[in-house]
Amino acid sequence: MNFLKRFSLFETLLTVVVLSVHLYAALSDAYNFPNSWFSRDDAFYYFKVAQNITEGLGSTFDGINLTNGYHPLWMMICIPIFALARFDLILPLRILLMVMAGLNAVTAILIYRLVKSNLSHAVALLAAMFWAFNIYIHSVVYEFGLETPIAAFAIVLFIYKLSQFEKEWRTKPVITRQLAILAFTAVMAMFSRLDLVFLAVICGIWIIFRGSAIRFFLPVDMVIIFVSMTSSVALRTGFESYNSFYVSSAIELVLLSLIVKTLFLYFFGAYQHPRMNSVWRTVRQTVSALTASTIIVVVLYTLLVQFGIGKNFPRSAFLIDWGISTILILALRLAAYLIGKNISTSIQPLAPIIELKTNWKKWLNEGITYYGILGGALGLYMLYNKITFGTSSPVSGQIKRWWGTMTNTVYERPASNWSSFFGLSYGGTFDAWQPASDVFLWFARILRPAYSGSDTVDERYFFSMFIFAVLAFIIFVLNSRRAVNKISHMALIPLAAGCGIQILSYTTIAYGGAKEWYWVGQMVLVTLVGSLLLDLILKPLQHLLLRHRSANAKPMSRAVPEKTRYARVAFQAISVLLGLSFAYQFNNYVTTIMRHNYFPADRPFMEVLPFLEENTPTGSVIGMTGGGNVGYFIKDRTIVNMDGLINSNEYFHALQNKEAPIYLNEHDMDIIFANAQLLNVPPYYGQFTRYLERYNTYGGKGLYYLLAEPKFNE
């Protein structure tokens, strides 16, 4: 692979700095690892399952229940590392920290090469160091111990490969081997985080329909159709009713609309080159296609309901959807018309039928190659899961979707307002656009004197976001030719569309318990788009400086080339200085939280461990509603996960049927350590109350015997 080629001086120095800072952390006190670095309980689900696999117990957290509640590629990386856990529980954590450091360095280098080959050296330097040393990116991607490091690497590698492919297909014929390499890279991304399947699918459109305007329009149209249909239902019903009753029908209609509307848009000519038609004809084609397709969708779904396949649906939402989708898709077509002169294709624009007749064999063959590999890998994974675990997808995702349908669950609620519905919240689970969100908040604080009030934080934040969006649009329009070219060569359209649909796949399906580390692709997109905007600002500035300084230069003199070189060096020097400031802050952060010779060597890794070990007999099977870190560190006892995220499909159904106490008793669990109030609310619904007898308390949690028979009848 290209990233294994000989490193440049900058790449070598960047790698040395990243690894050195992380090595300091890896050699720090053992107490730091579960308390300052691997601070997320979910990471220890991976660690304990990986340890159990190496000890011959199979894919299980507790040694009792088989589980598939994890992303497969990260588990494959963890397995050989946690084979060492039988000797020393901290040693695998030290090694894993350095593995994540290596992934951080390699990802930053790929960003550097991607940006350098498409934009400028100065911007590439800054982008790489920003990714490597930004504290938010580090804490969410490289500190929790979850699958995010391999996901970030896989995304950037995929985009890097697409960028290379973009240059190759324009100069020479595409061969099957190229498509297969891209497909296998997409498979890697998908298995790094399964929700990246959306990115993999959309990038297939970008690859197969190269040379056609379809590749520009279709990915964005898919996001618009998804947004339009789901938000139409939410507008009509309200979020609580949407999440509780209408999610399934809304998603069914999204899938139906994606097929019908895109077909109608194509055959009505709305996927032609933006400059092929007049503005009026573009408007007529788009409105006609969306009107006709909406009617067909209404008819088809009504028939599905009559046959018992579809579900009840608020009929007025169809009209709302028609209005929203028409406005947004038409706006996209008109914007494309304005910059259409900068959108090049490798073939002469053709009418839809002629284009289909000309290209259908090539599209079909390449589609079979790419999606055959992608779909085949996904199909084999799902088949293996079905045979081994009794369910074709990770049970953890199914449980979180179940949580989202509950009105009063103890766990995180699904999207319940418009900002979270679109992933535009700040400071919470649905803040999908960090670290850009921090910039918007910073500017919002500047706006406070002009728009004061403690109850206007949201307004200032969204106004700040709007200002930045307008400025970015202006910069884009003023540099439209270069911007369109770089967006194409950096595959930003499929990346943005994939990120958009991934967000909607959580916010529009009543998904409870979403986490901030889901948004890895968005961090990559923010980094690349920020790099493009910076490049669009610096290029005119550099030319302006050169024109001013070379006004008195003599003809044929070497002054202008020399000044060009000096300007580039100056920008590169500024980038390095800014990057060094990022590295300095990052180093301070790491050395502050990962202390050396500070904690006693015999200090328990967790304060709760001595309590549990003193108050439970050796060999006890203890139930906890989380328990990942306790399960990894506790001695001579077994922790069973009661929320189901790292438990079996059978336990999930027992929990749904309010038979969890019976199921756990049958699997030799005799003690529960949990908050009694938590067990009385959804998703537990008080089903454990009759089976519990408290005998001790610690930190607001009770230690209970789990009785084989209920204390009383309901």
For every residue of 613-643, which 3-state class applies, written as one string?
HHHCCCCCEEEECCCHHHHHHCCCCEEEECC
What pLDDT sits at residue 426?
86
Query: Which string of DSSP letters, residue by residue, matches 238-302?
Result: -HHHIIIIIHHHHHHHHHHHHHHHHHHHHHTTTTS-TTSS-HHHHHHHHHHHHHHHHHHHHHHHH
Triad 403, 404, 407: Cα angle to 5°? 90
Rg of the chain on CA atoms, in Å: 28
Tell me how far apart the alpha carbons of residues 708 and 670 are, in angstroms, rounded to a whole number.
8
| Per-residue pLDDT at 564 | 65
Query: How far is Cα 52 from Cα 639, in angstroms, rounded to an integer?
Result: 13
Which residues are registered as beta bridge partners of 701? 698
- Which percentage of the chain shows pLDDT scores above 70? 94
What is the per-residue pLDDT for 349? 63
Distance CA 352, CA 266 (A): 7
453: left (phi over 0), alpha (psi -120 to 50) or beta: left
Q: Is 68 left (phi over 0), alpha (psi -120 to 50) or beta?
A: alpha
- For 175-215, how does the pLDDT look when each residue is reduced to its tens digit (9 = 90+)? 999 999 999 999 999 999 999 999 999 999 999 999 888 99
What are the tens digits of pLDDT across the range 288-311? 999 999 999 999 998 888 888 877
Q: How confident is the model at residue 54 (pLDDT cuts 50, 70, 90)?
A: very high
State residue 306 phi and psi, 5-degree precision: -65, -35
Q: Which of 456-460, 639-643, 675-679 has the highest mean pLDDT?
A: 639-643
Residue type, 153: F
The span from the CA of 625 to the CA of 456, in Å, is: 37
Quote the pLDDT of residue 453: 66
Question: Residue 3 — very low, low, confident or very high, per pLDDT cuts 50/70/90?
Answer: very low
Mean pLDDT of 564-588: 88
CB 529 within 8 A of CB 130: no
Kindly state the average pLDDT of the residues 647-656.
Answer: 96
Crossing angle (nearest 10°) for helices 91-118 and 9-26:
160
Mean residue pLDDT across the chain = 91
Q: Quick check: 546 and 559 in contact, CB under 8 A? A: no
Strand 638-641 and strand 621-624: the pairing is parallel
pTM check: above 0.75: yes
CA 193/CA 525 separation, integer angstroms: 16
Q: What integer pLDDT is reported at residue 234 of this predicted model? A: 94
d(CA 325, CA 386): 38
Q: Give the confidence band of 711 by pLDDT, cuts at 50, 70, 90.
A: confident
Q: Please give, one letter per residue, the 3-state secondary structure of 397-465.
A: HHHHHHHHCCCCCCCCCCCCCHHHHCCECCCCCCECCCCHHHHHHHHHHHCCCCCCCCCCHHHHHHHHH
pLDDT reported for residue 10: 95
Please check the confidence at residue 336 and state whether its pLDDT lies above 70: yes
Of 5, 43, 24, 68, which Cα lies nearest the Cα of 399? Answer: 68
| Spatial separation of the C-alpha atoms in residues 668 and 650, rounded to whole Å | 15
**What whole-number distance in Å separates Cα of residue 412 and Cα of residue 73?**
26
Statement: residue 627 has pLDDT above 60: yes
**DSSP symbol at 18:** H
What average pLDDT does this structure show over 450-478? Answer: 84
| pLDDT surpasses 70 at 553 | no
The owner of tokens 């080159």 is: 273
pLDDT at 226 > cutoff 80: yes
Instruction: Mean pLDDT check: name the lowest of 424-438, 501-515, 542-556.
Output: 542-556
pLDDT at 572: 87
> Which has the closest alpha carbon to 646: 400, 406, 407?
400
The dihedral through the CA atoms of 21, 23, 29, 33 has a sign that is positive
The pLDDT of residue 340 is above 90: no
Residue 541 pLDDT class (50, 70, 90 cuts):
confident
Which of 414, 510, 517, 475 is CA-nearest to residue 71? 517
Residue 714 in this model has a pLDDT that exceeds 90: no
What's the pLDDT at 556? 44
Q: Is the pLDDT of residue 557 over 70?
A: no
At residue 431, what are phi and psi to the nearest 5 degrees?
-85, 85
Confidence band for 412, pLDDT divided at 50, 70 and 90: confident
How far is residue 578 from each of residues 111, 428, 573, 664, 669, measured CA to CA in Å? 17, 28, 9, 56, 56
Mean pLDDT confidence for 439-446: 89
Question: Tokens 């770089």 sit at which residue?
Answer: 486
- Between CA 668 and CA 676, with CA 671 as vertex, the angle to 5 degrees is 130
- Taking 60 as the threshold, does the pLDDT of residue 143 lie above it? yes
CA 216 – CA 206 distance, rounded (Å): 8
Predicted local distance difference test score (pLDDT) of residue 688: 94
Please, which residues have CB within 8 angstroms of residue 231's CB and are 6 or more apart in sequence?
324, 421
Is the predicted pLDDT of residue 255 greater than 60, yes or no?
yes
Give residue 548's pLDDT band: very low, low, confident or very high (50, 70, 90): low
Convert 154-179 to b/e letters by CB count within 10 Å (16 or more is b).
Answer: bbbbbbbbbbbbbeeeeeeebeeebb
Q: Read off the pLDDT of residues 468-484 as tens digits, 9 standing for 90 and up.
A: 999 998 898 888 888 88
Kindly list the distances between the CA atom of residue 604 and the CA atoms of 29, 32, 475, 634, in Å, as whole numbers in the listed order.
Answer: 12, 11, 55, 10
| Per-residue confidence band for 343, with pLDDT thresholds at 50, 70 and 90 | low
Using the predicted structure, report yes or no on whether residue 392 has a pLDDT greater than 90: yes
SS3 666: helix
pLDDT at 227: 96
| Cβ–Cβ under 8 Å, residues 377 and 387 | no
Q: Label the pairing between strands 621-624 and 671-674.
A: parallel
